Amino acid sequence: MSNSDWLDRTRTALWHPCTQMKQLEAMPPLPIARGEGPWLIDYDGRRYLDAISSWWVNLFGHAEPRINAAIVDQLARIEHVILAGCTHAPWSSCPSGWPG
């Protein structure tokens, strides 16, 4: 898909909760295909420095291999359990060894 395809999809099928929808035509969101370290990359291959660095990305970057491996390891055991009445092993006991 191209940036144009994703923007068309966004306008017809997606509500952006922190965006004024009436402004999508004049100021469309960036259609991001993937992240790589500090970079966001759109569907047409353009790169943008992620200066916003949402949540913890500012520390580790996008698609960091060790974090991805720990996520995959966790998903193989359980993707989520609510901590209201349940418990589970912490990150430090994960076989992947993250964080190191």
> pLDDT by residue for the chain (100 residues), tens digit each?
899 998 888 888 887 777 777 787 788 888 999 999 889 999 999 999 988 766 666 678 888 898 889 888 888 877 777 778 777 766 544 455 544 4
Domains and CATH numbers, the chain: 3-60 (3.90.1150.10), 64-100 (no CATH)
- Tokens for 65, please give them: 């291999």
Record the pTM: 0.64
> In this structure, which long-range contacts are made by residues 24-28, counting pairs with CB atoms below 8 Å and at least 24 apart in sequence?
none
- φ, ψ of residue 75 to 5 degrees: the values are -60, -30
